[in-house]
């Protein structure tokens, strides 16, 4: 696979993850008001999001490896492992091998790890001017949203915590905006292909 191919796949994956995130919040709200099958659809969308984020992480690694090789490879490795764990747990939930309680912390934690990875890559993007400054700042904000969600869940696993609520709001607005912008830059060849 050439660098151009990876950038193109990552661009489309960014669009896909943005759309799946927006649909994910819609199905989650529908689940809370109407019940199934919206919960299952939300779980399926979580898998789509995680798989598309893995492609994005590979592209972010490709962009950042020249300026921070050890950090970039570490962030990529941890991020991919976390997202694969989310995929496995969500798939097991969908086929009813496990119950929601068994995924309630591990899946958000995996997405929190992705958020931390996005923050690290965005910091390096900002410091090394690898991406537009505003996009890097938006990546920092979107990544922080994911981290706040898991922080709130860890602080109060039995119920809502204001950090999880704030993080969720930041994430459902910030991440799709970041992903669409990043995807557009990749697909138009305006990021180091």
Q: State the pLDDT at residue 102.
A: 87
| Interval 67-119: pLDDT, tens | 999 999 999 999 999 999 999 999 999 999 999 888 888 999 999 999 999 99
Mean pLDDT of 5-17: 94
pTM (predicted TM-score)? 0.93
The answer to whether residues 50 and 94 touch, using CB atoms and an 8 Å cutoff, is no
Q: State the pLDDT at residue 149.
A: 93
| Interval 119-148: pLDDT, tens | 999 999 999 999 999 999 999 999 999 999
User: From CA 37, how far away is CA 94, in angstroms rounded?
Assistant: 11
| Interval 141-182: pLDDT, tens | 999 999 999 999 888 877 688 898 999 999 999 999 999 999
> Which own/partner contact pairs does 74-81 have at CB distance under 8 Å and 24+ positions apart?
75/117, 75/120, 75/121, 76/117, 78/113, 78/117, 79/53, 79/54, 79/113, 79/114, 79/117, 80/54
The answer to whether residues 4 and 187 touch, using CB atoms and an 8 Å cutoff, is no
Q: State the pLDDT at residue 158.
A: 74
């Amino acid at each position: 696979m050439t660098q151009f191919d990876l950038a193109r796949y990552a661009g489309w994956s960014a669009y896909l993850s943005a759309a799946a995130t927006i649909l994910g919040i819609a199905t989650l709200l529908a689940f809370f008001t109407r019940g199934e099958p919206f919960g299952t659809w939300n779980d399926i969308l979580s898998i789509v999001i995680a798989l598309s984020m893995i492609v994005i992480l590979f592209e972010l690694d490709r962009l950042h490896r020249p300026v921070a090789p050890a950090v970039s490879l570490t962030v990529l490795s941890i991020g991919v492992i976390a997202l694969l764990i989310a995929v496995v747990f969500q798939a097991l939930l969908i086929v009813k091998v496990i119950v929601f309680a068994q995924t309630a912390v591990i899946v958000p934690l995996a997405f929190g790890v992705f958020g931390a990875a996005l923050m690290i890559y965005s910091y390096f993007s900002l410091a090394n001017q690898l991406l537009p400054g505003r996009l890097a700042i938006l990546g920092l904000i979107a990544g922080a949203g994911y981290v706040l969600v898991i922080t709130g869940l860890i602080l109060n696993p039995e119920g809502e915590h204001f950090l999880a609520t704030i993080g969720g709001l930041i994430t459902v607005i910030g991440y799709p905006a970041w992903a669409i912008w990043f995807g557009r830059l990749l697909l138009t060849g305006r990021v180091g292909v």
